[in-house]
């Protein structure tokens, strides 16, 4: 992690946790001097050509007999490797160095709300919704399950800010995988209706879902994710400057979803974990937070 943080001796579990979020943090960072990746590769190739075109001077001057070095040969493949496989994650030149050390020693991871008058002013509310889903990549027992929860917690006192998590919500037509029929919403209230509420509101013979949720909608998923990082971008759904909202059955809430703020080149200093959902205008849907969300979206 050198160059990003002061972490050292990072365990596999810590590396896994970092990998779930780091793309969303760096996705909007501009390269130095606004370099673009294609231009960077061109500059890299020019530098390599310049070096290989002039390296013979060292042989002519007797500095070394030749340049038959594995590291130099590997560098000629770097531009094409980046074009085919992306960033050179975990590429290094330590393997040959390790080999050298060993020899030396041997030798010595909306519906829109309508204005409907209510005949009551108080309902039972709930502050946490918990899910248990099977890990799609394992066939083990309960220990391989993905534990997921949605918190709907109002502000408590002056020090503890409220928490209202975001979720993927089925509009009734969503399938087992893919984004068709799904939409991101921020869950503001989870509540239930008492029998007298149901009678006064719906009349006799109607059995609404027992548990309901009031959610504020984000924009619908686009047909395709963003091409450079394969994450979907969403923003608050507004009508006449007012957030679109709706009431949905809790059973339609598929699972929680982590939204990564679209920071831009520099993250605003006034954004915090408590206010970023209110301050940030756009988000990326994090499909890497766990394996279940990845297989759900794709």
The 10s digit of each residue's pLDDT in 266-291 is 888 899 888 999 999 999 999 888 88
Mean pLDDT, all residues of the chain: 79
Q: Which of 72, 107, 142 is the last residue of a domain?
A: 107
In a domain, 90, yes or no: yes
User: Residues 43, 98: one domain?
Assistant: yes
3-class state of residue 141 by DSSP: coil
In a domain, 7, yes or no: no
126: CB partners within 8 A, 6+ apart: 152, 190, 191, 192, 211
What is the tally of structural domains in the chain? Answer: 2
Residue with the bigger pLDDT between 288 and 205: it is 288
Q: Which of 59, 76, 107 is the last residue of a domain?
A: 107
User: Residues 225, 265: one domain?
Assistant: yes
User: Residues 47, 195: one domain?
Assistant: no
**Residues 6, 7, 9, 12, Cα dihedral to 10°:** -160
User: Residues 150, 259: one domain?
Assistant: yes
In a domain, 67, yes or no: yes
User: Residues 253, 143: one domain?
Assistant: yes
What pLDDT is attached to residue 252? 93
CA distances from 96 to 1, 72, 77, 89, 99 (A): 21, 12, 17, 18, 5
pLDDT 10s digits, 83-123: 776 666 656 555 455 444 444 444 432 333 344 556 667 78
User: Residues 181, 97: one domain?
Assistant: no
Q: Which domain holds residue 129?
A: 125-297
pLDDT 10s digits, 16-49: 888 888 888 788 776 666 555 677 788 888 888 8
20: CB partners within 8 A, 6+ apart: 286, 288, 289, 290
In a domain, 1, yes or no: no
User: Residues 74, 130: one domain?
Assistant: no
In a domain, 156, yes or no: yes
User: Residues 139, 215: one domain?
Assistant: yes
User: Residues 271, 228: one domain?
Assistant: yes
User: Residues 184, 95: one domain?
Assistant: no
């Amino acid at each position: 992690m050198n160059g990003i943080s002061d972490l050292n001796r990072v365990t596999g579990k810590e590396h896994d946790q970092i990998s779930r979020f780091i793309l969303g943090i760096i996705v909007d960072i501009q390269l130095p001097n606004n370099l673009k990746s294609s231009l960077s590769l061109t500059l890299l190739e020019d530098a390599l050509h310049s070096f290989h075109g002039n390296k013979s001077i060292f042989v002519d001057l007797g500095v070394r007999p030749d340049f038959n070095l594995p590291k130099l040969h590997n560098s000629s493949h770097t531009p094409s490797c980046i074009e085919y496989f992306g960033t050179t994650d975990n590429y290094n030149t330590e393997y040959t160095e390790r080999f050298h050390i060993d020899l030396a020693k041997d030798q010595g991871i909306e519906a829109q709300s309508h204005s409907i008058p209510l005949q009551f002013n108080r309902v039972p509310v709930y502050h946490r919704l918990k899910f248990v889903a099977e890990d799609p990549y394992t066939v083990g027992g309960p220990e391989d399950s993905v534990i997921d929860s949605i918190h709907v917690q109002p502000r408590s006192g002056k020090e503890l800010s409220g928490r209202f998590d975001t979720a993927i919500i089925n509009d009734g037509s969503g399938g087992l995988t893919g984004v068709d029929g799904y939409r991101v919403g921020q869950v503001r209230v989870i509540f239930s209706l008492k029998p007298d509420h149901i009678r006064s509101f719906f009349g006799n013979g109607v059995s609404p879902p027992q548990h309901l949720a009031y959610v504020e909608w984000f924009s619908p998923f686009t047909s395709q994710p963003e091409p450079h990082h394969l994450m979907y971008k969403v923003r608050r759904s507004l009508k006449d400057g007012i957030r679109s909202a709706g009431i949905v059955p809790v059973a339609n809430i598929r699972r929680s979803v982590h939204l990564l703020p679209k920071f831009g080149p520099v993250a605003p200093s006034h954004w915090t974990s408590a206010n970023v959902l209110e301050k940030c205008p756009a988000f990326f849907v994090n499909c890497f937070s766990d394996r279940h969300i990845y297989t759900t979206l794709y």
